[in-house]
Structure 1
């Protein structure tokens, strides 16, 4: 027991390193909402500045430290104003990729200047050993944990009790509102970037004597710090410090007690994954900020570019040396791997940083089967791909409960677990000699080292075949589901799309593609080095995929030349001698500048240029750049059948958030063929009631039934399939899809067979009668080919309602459908809502503040205030109810005026 206590005390040294690094990550996120993957690289640069001044330049320790810390603070402020400020409204992936680009750039600059040698530096802290329980503990570890504790207290006090701390909290809560009250989000963010960068510098300089100073020392440290910052929610300094102590001590104990290489290094990520799995939400809550996503291509694989690419590749292969031919083959293999990012990140919107280690698992399975068990290449490849798909689904099960940057960090941790437990363990990877493989099909060898020309042929064919698979998925039913989930998970679930199923499928398909690419890359020369499948490798490859255009089929080909051993490397060797050493630096700078200037990647620019050229030379003409109008089949409205009638009953429904009661025993029913109006002042709980009916909010009491069938416990998508549809107050359209695709998404079959059939042939677009009728009811014929994001607000609102109607639901829930519409549009909408009840037979629940609209449309009214029903019945009677007048007008005896709002 005494020995374990001594080991635990020794673990405080590691705890201090984690604490210092994680505090800086929390600082940056609190001030700007950015998870800074370059935190360690900033500290690394500052540590080398200090090294130059103090060790090489003989400056005193303290002045050198001050200069290095100030330089890091200036660098942090510059990063904000130059790169983060232009990306304030960009997607999480864009901001993440910029920090990854900065990481690559800064680390490459350090390597160019100082190489990869390990530098031992002196410590200014006391290093006198202290004996604890028979274990010798250097005093500097205890000093460091004391420094970390003091910084934690200081930061907590500053951000809790000072004006600057309150300003930071205000900006983190709502930048627009903070700006309205005189708080500059830019100044606050820049100050926090400067402070976190200064802290990164201080931490790097203090810990350099312990972990030594080399190109990857600090960036590796940030891996564990990310896990700790995520556990702390990127907000709490005390939680970050406490987690650092627990994980640092725990990791040291695991090192001593567990005889498994890599187990200690993987421990923080295992804890992080468990915490985030328990904490995560399946679907975002209302008012979740949906940032702009990178643009997605049409998914069409045109024969012209394919033939041209084949001709160019053939010419190059026949005219260049074997070294160049192998580089071309490697470039195509890397492009095959990058296709996996197009599927998962581009189409599904899931930021995964586990792709490279996950793909390496497939290569490991295939390689070990071939090397240790003599399995031929093709069966080994198939088994490796299947094993990777299975592992991807297992990994995705906890990962799908989180999203955005949290998902990126969780998958980063999952990749790190694979790296530490598998790829760095020589017992599993074939020892120091690696794994010998023979790429041979039916006696035909295409080993890249021996037969580079054959290798190019195979990689080209594989890339082409998998590109066909990806384009089939993009253009089919599965692709519409993916883009719907990527754009708006709540709206997708409300249409009956299984959000979790789509995510799991995206992880599985992308993992299979990644495994094929990893096999082609790592098997190219016959000896597989599994150490290359590091967790940081995913960050590099994600950056390359984003640079090329992560939503476009051409993106992988445009990004892959900057990867190691590709034509970019060969160009640096043969054409511009010495350029190869600068390739990581060039790639990092290009990545950062590309994201800041164009978040959609190089492929989007090339697509736009090619369209202009084609239009100019007159190969085809389009009106204002728009596609041909969509032709609707004849489907007379008079022939429409009525929807399946169903009675929606809500009984004693209550919703509470902590001690705040939002709904208190609400009861109502919505009958087939009638319009029930639900009115009440702002904040009465009307939208919460719809969220509870549709499954987005869990009630604390009460029941919701549809024709007597209990709906509680069912998912939002299951309730949609049962016959309940809704239009959101905030629209929540699928911005990446056209108006027609938005509507069709509501009527796509629920069958899961498309997950297989779409791989071979995309499911054709089917214009169901309900789709045609909804289009004509809302007069959207002229807008069908336009992206939803291009429509004016009034048309967007009508599109949102048409989408909810298209599936022919038994019950339709409309949340303020007339908001933002003109007077004539409101009157027409009122007539349409009446027809939906009278002619279609729908049960309609209508929330609306426009009392005139309600009076003209509704058969009955229910009024709620502060979560309770205060009146119900005929509209003319409810309008004169004293309780309703009191709720809206704060007293008086006059009937409720048209368009009244609460004035109390």
Structure 2
């Protein structure tokens, strides 16, 4: 027990650091809605500023400390004003990547100016031990750091609770627009919190030497972000006291683990384990603050132009063979980095899952392959396959948290995972270094030492193969599923896409690709030192390079991999530069700093990356030369095909009956629906009317599987589907549209519709890698295009369409699933009179000619009464009327619900 208490008290020091950093992260998030992954960089600035001012300039400790805190405030303010404010309309992932770029900039800048070695910085809090009880002596610093954290937390809590500034921060955190309406500028509040958070982090960083006996190094600060994230998550990014208590608890738990667990790296992984428990087991996630105008990076088409690709590959083969040995080594570095970058394209660019552990996946593949080769004598071919398989399996396991977290939440998990894998496996003295056996491929000696040209060609062949696979995935059914999930998970489920399955596939395949690159990188060395070769920061560097190149384009990482560590750019640069430029005289050491700056410029200027610019300029010229005639021919062909189809028999769907029994939905103490019954027969239009707040959209959400029922049943053809997932209901013939449209804006109209009617077979996960095929428009899709007159916009990107056209595309996408029962949620909203009339005729055709059962929700009462066979009316969640349109028109209860009183005026006049 005495040992437990001693370690726990010692952990108060580390916990105090975590607490201060966690409070700063909460403060920044509440002011700006951004999770600052550069927070440990702010701490690094504070520590090294105090050291430099005291050691090099002879300033007193108080003056150095004040200047360090002011510099932290200034850096935080500059980051908000110069980087994040211009990115407020970018996607949340882009903002996170920007903070990672700043972290890289800070870390590499300090490494280049001060080196990676340890420095001695005398702590300015008392460190002499104090005796608590018999046998337990604790350094005073632990109590000082915890006490300082509690004091600063109390100040922050009182300030936020008792001042107008604090109230404004709270209001802005809940609703930035409402805060602006009250006269508070969200930008000014964000800038203030970034400055305060930056100053607090710098102050915390200046205290770090106290927990390491006065020693400090840049690498010591990187893991602090994991503990800070754990503290902030325990506070749910809301409560400063909880962030403080959480940070102290995590620090104490980590120190106790150090004392009782001998295995290296386990204790360092405690904050990561806390994050996993909070975000996966308990389902907690960051309350993300986004905007309706957030824009995701564009995605390429994946089209392969053989006339361009084949000559380019041949030329590269010639270069790889004729290059000198040093060039071939650099080419191996760049090609393997490009493969890991392509895994980022597939996972982040296509599936929208931000992973900060892709280089850890690469290292995992190399770890397995290297040990099998060195210790078990496996031949290279089998060790390579085993490494790729192992990386894919780990990627699958990593994807499991994606079932409960997404976006930035997932970035937090994967960031911690990278640190955990590096600490437990790669830096472990027992496992961290292996010497693989000789490398041969099917009897051909491709050893990188004896035959660097052959090994370089092997890496090139692997890169070409991966490029083709990733491009094929983009053009196939799986690619459309991924992009649907990336853009809108709710809408993807509504068309029958299994979101969880698609995510797991993306994680597995991406990890396998990263593992391939990692194995080839590791075997290019005679001895693989995992801790050095697969450093945690390399995952960030690969992400930086891929984003600069274009995270949605196959060409992106291929172009930018020249800047990878040890790659082509490093070889081109001189080994010595002007005096004083770098600590070691090598200009190439500054490449990560340059890349971080380029990343920030890229995000500010064009978050789509270099590849998009290349595609726009080069591809634009090709399209300008050949595209116009092709487009005119395509439109003409569509019109001719439509004329030919005009005489065909109408498409019919499998008849199914939808029944809802006793449907009840409560949210806490509020009852949205109470005991609702309804039935939709094949070929019947059932109208659903009710004033605002009657529960109409809630009913559709319940029927389609997006709400968990409080009571009642949803039945199709006698089968209870109340516990089915949304995608399973969609595959059973239950489709819906959304009031807010929720199109896949990154895709063309054609791809939106194809995504809806694609077969959901799992064989595509394998066949699309090799042969995605050409997506032919099925008959049901051609009929939907004809019905809604979409032939002229079929190849337009969805986000470029007019609102009316987008409405029609949303309906067409629902129809394209060929449902037995179609749920339309206010499809006429925003349409003109002529479009409303056409919509009414379309609804009748879907029922009369296609045989669909249609549940139509609309505020346009006359539209519903004009095309429905029967009508159900809701008010305050209860069914108040049901019958034929003439009966509903004369129903007194309906008139009261709409007009508030008895009247002879038809409800349609005022319910539009």
- TM-score (normalised: structure 1): 0.95
- Tell me if structure 2 keeps the 8 A contact 1:6–1:132: no
CA contact (8 A) 1:879 1:895 kept: no
- Output aligned runs, 1:283-432, within 5 Å: 291-314=294-317, 316-317=319-320, 320-430=323-433
Q: Which residue of 2 aligns with 1:720?
A: 730
| More deviation, 29-38/241-250 | 241-250
**Which string of whole-angstrom CA distances, capped at 9 and with x for unpartnered residues, describes residues 77-121 of structure 1?**
111111111111211221111111111111122122222221221
**Deviation of 1:628 (Å):** 4.1
Q: Retained in 2: the 8 A contact 1:646–1:811? A: yes
User: For residues 285 and 744 of structure 1, do their structure 2 counterparts lie closer, same or farther at Cα, with a shift above 3 Å needed?
Assistant: farther
The 1:397/1:471 distance shift into structure 2, 3 A limit, reads same
**Alpha-carbon separation, structure 1, partners of 2:586 and 2:609:** 27
Equivalent residues in 2 for 1:36-115, closer than 5 Å: 36-115=36-115
The farther-off stretch of 329-338 and 365-374 is 329-338
Counterpart position of 1:780: 790
Q: Does the CA contact (< 8 Å) of 1:879 and 1:896 recur in 2?
A: yes
Distance 2:132 2:7 in 1: 9
Q: Does 1:600 align with 2:608?
A: yes
Q: Cα gap change, 1:901/1:246 in structure 2, threshold over 3 Å: closer, same or farther? A: farther
Residue 228 of structure 2: SS of its match in structure 1?
helix
Whole-Å separation in 2 of the counterparts to 1:798 and 1:361: 48
1:47-101 Cα offsets, whole Å, 9 max, x none, are 2222222332222222221222112112211111111111112112211111111
User: How far apart, CA to CA, are the structure 2 residues paired with 1:832 and 1:124?
Assistant: 77
Aligned-residue offset at 1:174: 3.4
CA distance in 2, matches of 1:883, 1:63: 77
* Alpha carbons of structure 1 residues 168 and 901: separation in structure 2 relative to 1, 3 Å: farther
Partner of 2:887: 877
Q: Which residue of 2 aligns with 1:550?
A: 551
| Distance change in 2, residues 1:410/1:673 (3 Å) | same
- How many Å apart are 1:398 and its aligned residue? 2.4
**Equivalent position to 2:762, from 731, 752, 759:** 752
SS at 1:436 equivalent:
coil
Task: Note if 1:33 corresponds to 2:33.
Answer: yes
Query: Which residue in 2 is equivalent to 1:487?
Result: 487
1:389, 1:512 within 8 Å by CA — same for their partners in 2? yes
Q: Give the 3 Å change call, closer, same or farther, for CA 901–183 of structure 1 in structure 2.
A: farther
d(CA) in 2 for partners of 1:736, 1:99? 25
Q: CA deviation at 1:457?
A: 0.9
Give the whole-Å Cα distance in 2 for the aligned partners of 1:268 and 1:249. Answer: 11
Check the 8 A contact 2:365/2:515 in 1, yes or no.
yes
How does 1:249-260 map onto structure 2 within 5 Å?
249-260=252-263
8 A Cα contact 1:368 1:429, kept in partner? no
1:611 corresponds to: 619
Moved more, 440-449 or 653-662: 440-449
Deviates more, 1:218-227 or 1:13-22: 218-227
Q: Corresponding residue for 1:261?
A: 264
Helix, strand or coil at the partner of 2:823: strand
Instruction: Give the Å deviation of 1:156.
Output: 2.6
CA contact (8 A) 1:494 1:726 kept: yes
Q: Distance in 2 between matches of 1:742 and 1:823?
A: 26
Partner secondary structure for residue 745 of structure 1 = helix
| Cα distance change on mapping 1:626 and 1:461 into 2, 3 Å | farther
Q: Is 1:582 aligned to 2:585, yes or no?
A: no
- With over 3 angstroms needed to count, the CA separation of the structure-2 counterparts of 1:285 and 1:91, relative to structure 1, is closer
Matched, 1:272 2:275: yes
SS in 1 for 2:856: strand
Aligned counterparts of 1:16 and 1:449: Cα–Cα separation in 2: 50
Separation (CA, whole Å) in 1 of partners of 2:666 and 2:89: 32
Q: Within the alignment, does 1:832 sit opposite 2:842 as a pair? A: yes
The Cα of 1:8 is off from its aligned counterpart by 1.4
1:420 deviates by: 1.8
**Could you list the per-position Cα deviations for residues 384-439 of structure 1 after superposition, in whole angstroms to 9, with x for gaps in the alignment?**
11122122112211233111100111112222222222111122234xxx433432
In the other structure, the counterpart of 1:165 is 166
Which stretch has the larger CA shift, 305-314 or 497-506? 305-314
Measure, in 1, the Cα distance between the counterparts of 2:778 and 2:48: 66
Q: What's the counterpart of residue 898 of structure 1?
A: 908
SS at match of 1:813: strand
SS of aligned partner of 2:739: coil
CA distance in 1, matches of 2:672, 2:655: 30
Q: How far did residue 779 of structure 1 move?
A: 0.6
Q: Comparing 376-385 with 315-324, which one deviates more in the overlay? A: 315-324
Q: CA deviation at 1:4?
A: 1.5
Question: Is 1:572 matched with 2:573?
Answer: yes
Verify the 8 A CA contact 2:237 2:286 in the aligned structure 1: no
Contact 2:898/2:907 (CA < 8 Å) preserved in 1?
A: no
8 Å contact kept, 2:861–2:911: no
Q: Find the residue that maps to 1:426 and give its secondary structure.
A: coil
Indicate how the Cα distance of structure 1 residues 640 and 189 shifts in structure 2: closer, same or farther if over 3 A, else same. Answer: same
TM-superposed CA distance for 1:23, in Å, is 1.3
Instruction: Give the conservation status (yes or no) of the 8 Å contact 1:262–1:421.
Output: yes
Q: Which region of structure 1 is more displaced relative to structure 2, 830-839 or 852-861?
A: 852-861
**Match in the other structure for 2:665:** 655
| CA drift at 1:366 | 0.5
TM-score normalised over the length of structure 2: 0.94
Q: Is the Cα contact below 8 Å between 1:637 and 1:773 reproduced in 2?
A: no
Residue by residue over 1:321-368, the C-alpha shift from the partner in whole angstroms, topping out at 9 and shown as x without a partner, is 321221122211211221111111111111011211122111111000
Cα RMSD, aligned residues only = 2.4
Deviations 1:429-472 (A, max 9, x none): 34xxx433432213433233332211221111111111111111
Among 796, 814, 820, the alignment partner of 2:806 is: 796
Answer whether contact 1:355 1:511 (CA < 8 A) is retained.
Answer: yes
Q: Report deviation, 1:494.
A: 0.6
User: Structure 2 matches for 1:603-642, cutoff 5 A?
Assistant: 603-614=611-622, 618=625, 620-622=626-628, 628-629=634-635, 631=638, 632=641, 634-636=644-646, 638-642=648-652
Q: 1:780 to 1:150 in 2, by over 3 A?
A: same
Higher deviation after alignment, 673-682 or 818-827: 673-682
Does structure 2 retain, via aligned residues, the 8 Å contact 1:439–1:526?
Answer: no
**Alignment counterpart, residue 765 of structure 1, candidates 761, 772, 775:** 775
Contact 1:290 1:488 in 2 (8 A): no
Instruction: Return the alpha-carbon distance in structure 2 between the equivalents of residues 395 and 109 of structure 1.
Output: 32
* Corresponding residue number in structure 2 for 1:237: 240
- Alignment of structure 1 residues 449-598 onto 2, 5 Å: 449-531=449-531, 532-573=533-574, 578-598=586-606
Over 3 Å counting, the alpha-carbon distance change for 1:226 and 1:423 in structure 2 is same
Deviation at 1:536, TM superposition (A): 2.9
Structure 1 residue 151, shift from structure 2 partner: 2.2
Distance 1:899 1:544 in 2: 59
Residues matched between the structures, number: 897
Which residue of structure 1 aligns with residue 715 of structure 2? 705
Question: Which whole-Å CA distance do the structure 2 matches of 1:674 and 1:783 have between them?
Answer: 30
Distance in 2 separating the partners of 1:636 and 1:123: 84
Q: Which runs of 5+ in 1 are unaligned?
A: none
Q: Distance in 1 between matches of 2:892 and 2:335?
A: 75
Q: Secondary structure at the match of 1:219?
A: coil
Moved more, 495-504 or 33-42: 33-42
Note the C-alpha offset of 1:165. Answer: 2.8
Deviation track 1:118-169 (CA, whole Å, cap 9, x = no partner) reads: 1221222222312235232111211111111222233233333433233223
Match of residue 735 from structure 1: 745
Residues 292-341 of structure 1: CA distance to partner in whole angstroms, max 9, x if unpaired? 21111010122244344335535644665321221122211211221111
Q: Which residue of 2 aligns with 1:675?
A: 685
